[in-house]
Structure 1
Amino acid sequence: MSEILMPNDTNNLGRALGGSVLHWMDICGAIAARRFSRRQVVTAAMDHVDFIAAIELGDIVTTTAYVFETGRTSMDVKVDVYTERPDRGERNEAATSFFSFVALDESETPASVPALRCPTESQTELRAIALEQRQARRRELAERTTEP
């Protein structure tokens, strides 16, 4: 998904509101989960979000997402946000997080999802990267919460 950061989504410094970025991330993640499961989905969880760089008024904001793990009714989705400033030839990572979505049937109860297959080497690599990044985040969080 791509957007141009407009004034309605900025704070008083002319940078993206965190809530707007989260909104775009949730929608993009839901699209990936819905395409994968071919069902309606709801957001079940979101890991902490890393805001890596500011998004400035007028920046092109691109949000990408892909399913990297599945359960019986759930899908884990990696979501990344990039900024682009074509006039400067810049493209930078702006935010990243992991979302979990649950697929729903016609009665809006959890429904099974297909098993994840990675038929290409690049898909296998993306999955491995997402799994390692999520594990590293969880280790860091565990270490921070156990420090005196």
Structure 2
Amino acid sequence: MSEILMPNDTNNLGRALGGSVLHWMDICGAISARRFSNCQVVTAAMDHVDFIAPIELGDVVTITGYVFDTGETSMDIKVDVQAERPSEGESADAATSFFSFVALDADETPASVPDLECPSTAQQELQAEALSRRQERRQALAETADD
């Protein structure tokens, strides 16, 4: 999905509010989960968010999400944010995180989701990268908690 960073979503420095970026990431993750499961979904968890680079007023913001792992009723989604300045021909990674969503049936109870299939090499590589990155993040958090 794409957005343009407008004044209502900026701080006093003319950069994106973190909360606005998180909102966009949550929506993108929900769209990915809903398309995959063909069900209503709710956000169950969001891992540590890395804000990599600022998003400036007027930047075109592209948020991309994809399912990289599933449980019986849950889906793990990697969400990446990229900021583009079309007038300058520049783009940069701006944020990234992992979300977990739960599928719901008509009674709003957890519903089964399809098994994840990654038939192409590109899909398998995306999945492996996401699983590896998430494991690295969890390990780093565990080590920080132990300190």
TM-score (norm 1): 0.98
SS in 1 for 2:130: helix
Tell me what 1:104 maps to. Answer: 104
Tell me what 1:87 maps to. Answer: 87
1:130 maps to 2:102: no
1:45 maps to 2:45: yes
Tell me what 2:76 maps to. Answer: 76
SS in 2 for 1:124: helix
Moved over 6 A (4+): none
Tell me what 1:60 maps to. Answer: 60
Distance between the aligned counterparts of 1:107 and 1:142, measured in 2? 37
Distance between the aligned counterparts of 2:34 and 2:46, measured in 1? 16
Distance between the aligned counterparts of 2:47 and 2:108, measured in 1? 24
Write the deviation string for residues 101-137 of structure 1: whole angstroms up to 9, x where unpaired. 0000000000000000001110000000000000010
SS in 2 for 1:53: coil
Give me the identity figure in percent: 76
Distance between the aligned counterparts of 2:129 and 2:88, measured in 1? 29
The CA RMSD over aligned residues, in Å, is 0.5
Distance between the aligned counterparts of 2:89 and 2:144, measured in 1? 37
Distance between the aligned counterparts of 2:97 and 2:8, measured in 1? 23
Distance between the aligned counterparts of 2:121 and 2:35, measured in 1? 21
SS in 1 for 2:66: strand
> 1:144 deviation in Å?
1.1
TM-score (norm 2): 0.99
Larger deviation: 94-103 or 80-89? Answer: 80-89
Distance between the aligned counterparts of 2:14 and 2:125, measured in 1? 37
Q: Which runs of 5+ in 1 are unaligned?
A: none
